[in-house]
């Protein structure tokens, strides 16, 4: 997994989680763009890193990839809570008596997750059809009051989270499709975080393993879909995918080239905006058919779709018969993409 990230041009620094020299910030500047935490059981980070500094890193626009396990320490649990994710207790595991792998040793914690339980967002999980996912780890639930949390991979309707070696004496922490195996978050500043309840999910053993449900007659796959999903998730969380930006914006009366000092009511105007997407390290024209323009004075007086015209989006419309200060506003917020916003004030 890490070699794949290096092959994509990332400069990786490896440190143990309790390294006394750990630091994310130096002289007020972030030392890294992205942070990977593959140390589920850590109880105290080394150096000057703690949950507060990681949260500050996210608030500053940094992206974080976290892998947990049934042996989860308090710092990862606290970090999850800060991001709207609640991990189950230490030593618990996701259990599914109907969807476990044929090689499971008996506790039914080696889960075979169907790809139909993946979030319907190709920008995040990839566009290719995947083989089933192998998962062994701790379950999560999302904070229902946090609209930014993404249910990237859920358990099946027969899954639940509990202590695998104890009888169930109370209602489990997570049941059915409320059981999150992988969750994500895109903050309002476009920082991205992904939590996996399974460190094994990212292991070479799970990448290269065959997978087959223990149910009689189940299809055997020579390899899991873990690697493809892990790569897709890392490309999204590290902002190689789903990143948009605004280029040139222009507006003028139809038939003219430059914007006037002031418009007149009922003028016929043309507005255009260049929107680009990051693709393989290069900015290319974004192809979208649901981008809207609003002409706003407190409330929108005009709302219309923009049409793609070459490398830009444009539309012509008549100004309302109302005087005042207005804004041409594009506010594009779609699943898996960075929030795109452009506002131009006119009168």
- Are both 260 and 201 inside the same structural domain? no
Return the pLDDT at 134: 96
- Are both 231 and 249 inside the same structural domain? no
- Are both 33 and 137 inside the same structural domain? yes
Cβ count within 10 A of residue 149: 22
The string of DSSP codes covering 65-132 is EEE--SS--HHHHHHHHHTTEEE--TT-EEEESSSBBTT--SSS-SEEE-GGGB-S-HHHH-SS--PP
pTM summary value: 0.90
Quick one: which of 92, 69, 118 has its CA closest to 175?
A: 92
- Tell me what the mean pLDDT of segment 271-294 comes to: 92
Chosen domain end from 200, 215, 237: 237
DSSP tag of 11: -
Look at residue 91 and tell me whether its pLDDT is greater than 80.
Answer: yes
- Are both 256 and 147 inside the same structural domain? no
Look at residue 179 and tell me whether its pLDDT is greater than 70.
Answer: yes
CB 150 within 8 A of CB 184: yes
Return the pLDDT at 139: 94
Return the pLDDT at 27: 81
What range defines the domain where residue 131 resides? 2-237
Return the pLDDT at 155: 93
CB 140 within 8 A of CB 86: yes
- Are both 228 and 262 inside the same structural domain? no
Please report where in the chains the tokens 């005042």 appear, as a residue: 324
- Are both 213 and 311 inside the same structural domain? no
Return the pLDDT at 21: 85
Chosen domain end from 208, 237, 266: 237
Return the pLDDT at 2: 65
Q: Measured in whole angstroms, how far is the alpha carbon of residue 87 from the centre of its chain? A: 18
Please report where in the chains the tokens 């109907």 appear, as a residue: 98
CB contact set of 118 (below 8 Å; sequence gap of 6+): 125, 130, 152, 153, 229
Reported as a single tens digit per residue, the pLDDT across 219-237 is 999 999 999 999 999 999 9
Look at residue 292 and tell me whether its pLDDT is greater than 80.
Answer: yes
Look at residue 347 and tell me whether its pLDDT is greater than 90.
Answer: no
Comparing 3-17, 45-59, 215-229, 333-347, which segment has the lowest mean pLDDT?
3-17
- Are both 277 and 150 inside the same structural domain? no
The more confident residue out of 182 and 47 is 182
- Are both 75 and 186 inside the same structural domain? yes
Return the pLDDT at 169: 85
- Are both 81 and 218 inside the same structural domain? yes
User: Looking at the 3D structure of the chain, how many domains does it have?
Assistant: 2
Look at residue 3 and tell me whether its pLDDT is greater than 70.
Answer: no
- Are both 226 and 98 inside the same structural domain? yes
Chosen domain end from 237, 260, 281: 237
Mean pLDDT of the chain: 91
- Are both 286 and 181 inside the same structural domain? no
CATH at residue 296: 2.60.40.1930
| CA-to-CA separations, 109 to 290, 296, 313, in angstroms, rounded | 42, 54, 50
- Are both 194 and 333 inside the same structural domain? no
């Amino acid at each position: 997994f890490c070699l794949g990230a290096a092959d994509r041009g990332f400069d990786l620094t490896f440190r143990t989680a309790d390294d006394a020299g750990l630091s994310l910030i130096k002289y007020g500047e972030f030392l890294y763009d992205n942070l990977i935490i593959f140390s589920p059981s850590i109880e105290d980070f080394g150096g000057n890193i703690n949950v507060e500094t990681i949260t500050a890193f996210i608030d500053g626009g940094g992206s974080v990839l976290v892998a947990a396990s049934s042996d989860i320490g308090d710092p990862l649990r606290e970090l999850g809570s800060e991001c709207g994710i609640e991990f189950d207790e230490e030593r618990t595991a996701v259990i599914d008596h109907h969807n476990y792998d044929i090689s499971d040793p008996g506790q039914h914690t080696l889960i075979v997750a169907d790809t139909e339980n993946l979030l319907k967002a190709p920008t995040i999980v990839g566009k290719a059809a995947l083989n089933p996912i192998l998962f062994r780890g701790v379950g999560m639930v999302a904070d229902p009051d946090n609209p930014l949390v993404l249910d990237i991979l859920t358990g099946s309707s027969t899954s639940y989270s509990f202590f695998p070696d104890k009888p169930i004496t109370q209602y489990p922490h997570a049941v059915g499709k409320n059981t999150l195996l992988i969750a994500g978050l895109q903050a309002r500043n476009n920082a991205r975080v992904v939590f996996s309840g399974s460190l094994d999910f990212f292991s070479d053993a799970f990448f290269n393993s065959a997978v087959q449900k223990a149910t009689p007659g189940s299809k055997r796959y020579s390899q899991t879909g873990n690697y493809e999903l892990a790569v897709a998730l890392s490309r999204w969380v590290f902002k190689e995918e789903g990143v948009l930006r605004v280029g040139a914006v222009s507006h003028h009366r139809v038939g003219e080239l430059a914007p006037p000092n002031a418009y007149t009511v009922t003028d016929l105007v043309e507005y255009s905006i260049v929107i680009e997407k990051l693709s393989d390290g290069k900015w290319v024209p974004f192809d979208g058919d649901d981008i809207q323009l609003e002409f706003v004075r407190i409330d929108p007086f005009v709302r219309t779709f923009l049409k793609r015209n070459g490398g830009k989006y444009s539309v012509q419309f008549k100004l309302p018969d109302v005087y005042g200060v207005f804004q041409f506003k594009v506010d594009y917020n779609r699943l898996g993409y960075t929030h795109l916003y452009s506002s131009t004030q006119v009168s």
